[in-house]
């Protein structure tokens, strides 16, 4: 939505759901909630992990994911400390996974959530201890289940009756008693984008509490001699900023623990409340402190268990975004800059094109996500201009940052940095328009190392069966 500002600036004004946003006094300021803990500016130039982004861009090219290793590790430690030894923290690998990340997760004392055979393969390639892996997914194939059981994964979260039968057979053949959690759909409407809410009714994940499907799943797992039911699982969605949804979920899922005790005489020892904690993408986001969340979850589970006379189960959580998200910035090089008439009251909008886009960050197009962006390679005293940062793909929806203030002199070949791109960006990247996916470089103490190689056009051509030498 655009409207002429009463003062009548030439450019379209920034009107968001938070109201009119004036240009910030200092475009170069780095909001600590949004930028990696190891980000700073020196003489106007952004540095991450002690490295000048101009040098990183020269060495590795752009677009480039720059991952602050200390930021990632410190968030693992924050979770470990907040939940303590009486809980398990599984890093959700779907947010971003590579073998280096698996090692950091292991070294920082976390466990790992994988949701496909591919993620499992990365974990096993990193020698991640299989007993500390939980295996998720609403449509695991028999081969994936066989691989997981053979590898000795600690827990499989079952998601359908049919999967329970197949897993029981797979475990039986492998002569293994596989530990299992039942994923419960608790009927909570999480306050987040509809595509990333997962615990309301009428979606593909889990067994509904309503109608007794979850109770029936419990019965079937208990009946299978090759399966050991250790607990229940609930995940209400992602990018959530309050504890209300978790409290309702905990209340309902503990209710099922009580029902299981009453019907089967079994007190299940584990309760996994999933992931979903939100992070700051812009200064309008105000995420909860992990200690507040940990205390709230513990309190509600203890209270509900006390009310039902149940022993308090061992808690587990599965943060992905909250660990991987804030520590990475994406560096882009600016190309075309265009002033485009908006068609409203003579207003125009500045379109700043960068050399990536929806192939390295689909979140803006897919969820209407908001991001921040900053000029990264130099200081500028030029006036702020409301800009739309767009990619190079053949879609008008190929937007990286919908509304951002950038200095008026932003031009090719400046560098732009988009923070908070560590979760669900590289992991959801594509080769749309035959664009190779960018590398991920981990930075720490003034040193950089590639943790995921960038693709080249040759890599893409190699997959084309019609190209000479590939058949």
Ligand X SMILES: Cc1ncc(COP(=O)(O)O)c(C=O)c1O
Do the annotations mark residue 320 as ligand-binding?
Answer: yes
- Tell me which residue has its CB nearest to ligand LYS: 424
Query: Per-residue b/e over 92-112, b at no fewer than 16 CB within 10 Å?
Result: bbbbbbbbbbbebbbebebbb
The site partner of 318 among ligand LYS, ligand X, none (C-beta below 5 to 8 Å per kind) is ligand X
Q: Which of 83, 130, 61, 139 is nearest to 102 (CA)?
A: 130
Q: Which is nearer to ligand X, 238 or 359 (CB)?
A: 238
Q: Scanning the structure block, which residue is given the tokens 């590939």?
A: 470
Minimum CB separation of residue 40 from ligand X in Å reads 27
The 10 Å CB-count burial string (b at 16+, else e) for 12-27 is: bbbeeeeeebebeeeb
93 binds ligand X (CB under 6 A): no
Tell whether residue 95 is a contact of ligand X (CB under 6 A).
yes
Task: Establish if 60 lies at the interface with ligand LYS (CB under 6 A).
Answer: no
Query: How distant is the alpha carbon of residue 159 from its chain centre?
Result: 21
* Token pair for 55: 């040098």
ω before 413 within 30° of 0 (cis)?
yes
Smaller CB distance to ligand LYS: residue 352 or 440?
A: 440
Chain positions 371 to 410 lying near ligand X, rule: CB under 6 A, are none
- Which of ligand X, ligand LYS, none does residue 136 bind to, with CB < 5 to 8 Å depending on kind? ligand X
Rounded CA separation 79/302 (Å): 19
Q: What are the residues facing 105 on neighbouring strands?
A: none
**Residue choice 168, 424, 435, 442 for contact with ligand LYS (CB under 6 A):** 424
User: Alpha carbon 470 to chain centroid distance?
Assistant: 35
Under rule CB under 6 A, residue 116 binds ligand X: no
Annotated binding residue 363: yes
Distance CA 121, CA 144 (A): 10
Rule CB under 6 A: choose which of 146, 318, 333, 370 binds ligand X. 318
User: Annotated binding residue at 424?
Assistant: yes
372 touches ligand LYS (CB under 6 A): no
320 lies in the site for ligand X, by CB under 6 A = yes
119 binds, among ligand X, ligand LYS, none (CB under 5 to 8 A by kind): none
Q: At what angle do helices 161-173 and 142-151 cross, to 10 degrees?
A: 50
322 binds ligand X (CB under 6 A): yes
Binding partner selected for residue 319 from ligand X, ligand LYS, none, CB under the kind-specific 5 to 8 Å limit: ligand X
Pick the piece of the chain touching ligand X (CB under 6 A) from 10-18, 319-327, 401-409, 435-443: 319-327
Is residue 238 close enough to count as binding ligand X by CB under 6 A? yes
CA angle 172, 218, 164 (to 5 degrees): 35
d(CA 371, CA 405): 12
Tell me the C-alpha distance between 148 and 116, whole Å.
Answer: 10
Interface with ligand X (CB under 6 A), residue total: 18
Q: Which does 363 bind (CB under 5 to 8 A by kind): ligand X, ligand LYS, none?
A: ligand LYS
Query: If binding is defined by CB under 6 A, does position 361 make contact with ligand LYS?
Result: no
How is 318-358 classified by DSSP, letter by letter?
--SHHHHSTTEEEEEEEEEEEEEE-SSTT-EEEEEEES--T
Binding at 101: pick from ligand LYS, ligand X, none (beta carbon under 5-8 Å per type): none
Token pair, residue 446, equals 């003034």
**Beta carbon nearer to ligand LYS, 193 or 264:** 193
Interaction residues for ligand X, span 266-285 (CB under 6 A): 274-277
Residue 239 binds to ligand LYS (criterion: CB under 6 A): yes
Give catalytic status of residue 425 as yes or no: no
By the 10 Å C-beta count (0-12 exposed, 13-18 middle, 19+ buried), 9 is classed as middle
Is 176 exposed, middle or buried, given 0-12, 13-18 or 19+ CB atoms closer than 10 A? Answer: middle
276 is in an annotated binding site: yes
145 sits near ligand X (criterion: CB under 6 A): no
Provide, rounded to whole angstroms, the least separation between the CB of residue 324 and ligand X: 8
> Nearest distance from residue 200's CB to ligand X, in Å?
14
- Binding site residues, as ranges? 276, 318-321, 363, 367, 395, 424
Q: Which residues bind ligand X (CB under 6 A)?
A: 92, 94-95, 113, 136, 198, 235, 238, 274-277, 318-322, 423
Residues labelled as active-site residues: 394
- Binding site residues for pyridoxal 5'-phosphate, as ranges? 276, 318-321, 424
């Amino acid at each position: 939505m655009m409207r002429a500002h009463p003062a009548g600036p030439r450019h379209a004004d920034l009107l968001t759901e938070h109201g009119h946003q004036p240009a910030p006094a200092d475009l170069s300021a780095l909001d600590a909630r949004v930028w990696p803990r190891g980000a700073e500016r020196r003489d106007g130039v952004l540095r991450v992990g002690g490295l000048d982004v101009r040098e990183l861009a020269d060495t590795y090219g752009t677009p480039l994911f720059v991952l602050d290793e200390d930021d990632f590790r410190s968030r693992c430690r924050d979770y470990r400390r907040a939940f303590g030894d009486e809980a398990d923290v599984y890093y959700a690998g779907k947010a971003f996974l590579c073998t280096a990340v698996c090692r950091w997760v292991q070294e920082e004392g976390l466990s790992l959530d994988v949701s496909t055979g591919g993620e499992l393969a990365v974990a096993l390639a990193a020698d991640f201890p299989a007993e500390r892996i939980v295996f998720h997914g609403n449509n695991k194939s028999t081969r994936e289940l066989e691989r997981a059981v053979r590898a000795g994964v600690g827990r499989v979260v079952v998601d359908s009756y049919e999967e329970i039968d197949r897993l029981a057979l797979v475990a039986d053949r492998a002569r293994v008693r596989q530990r299992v959690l039942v994923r419960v759909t608790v009927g909570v409407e999480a306050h987040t984008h509809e595509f990333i809410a997962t615990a309301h009714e009428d979606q593909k994940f889990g067994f509904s509490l309503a109608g007794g499907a979850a109770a029936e799943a419990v019965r079937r797992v208990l009946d299978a001699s090759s399966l050991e039911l250790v607990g229940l699982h609930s995940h209400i969605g992602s990018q959530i900023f309050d504890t209300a949804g978790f409290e309702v979920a905990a209340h309902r899922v503990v209710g099922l623990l009580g029902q299981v005790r009453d019907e089967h005489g079994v007190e299940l020892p584990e309760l996994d409340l999933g992931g979903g904690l939100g992070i700051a993408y812009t200064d309008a986001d105000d995420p909860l402190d992990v200690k507040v969340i940990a205390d709230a979850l513990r309190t509600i589970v203890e209270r509900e268990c006390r009310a039902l006379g149940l022993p308090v189960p061992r808690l587990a959580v599965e943060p992905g975004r909250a660990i991987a998200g804030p520590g990475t910035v994406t560096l882009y090089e600016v190309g075309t800059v265009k002033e485009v008439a908006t068609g409203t009251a003579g207003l125009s909008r500045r379109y700043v094109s960068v050399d990536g886009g929806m192939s390295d960050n689909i979140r803006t197009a897919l969820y209407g996500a908001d991001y921040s962006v900053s000029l990264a390679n130099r200081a500028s005293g030029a006036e702020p201009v409301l800009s739309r940062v767009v990619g190079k793909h053949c879609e008008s929806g190929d937007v990286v940052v919908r509304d951002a203030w950038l200095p008026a002199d932003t031009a090719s070949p400046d560098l732009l940095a988009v923070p908070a791109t560590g979760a669900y960006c590289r992991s959801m990247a594509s080769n749309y328009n035959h664009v190779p996916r960018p590398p991920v470089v981990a930075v720490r103490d003034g040193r950089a190392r590639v943790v995921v190689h960038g693709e080249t056009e040759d890599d893409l051509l190699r997959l084309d069966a019609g190209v000479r030498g590939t058949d």
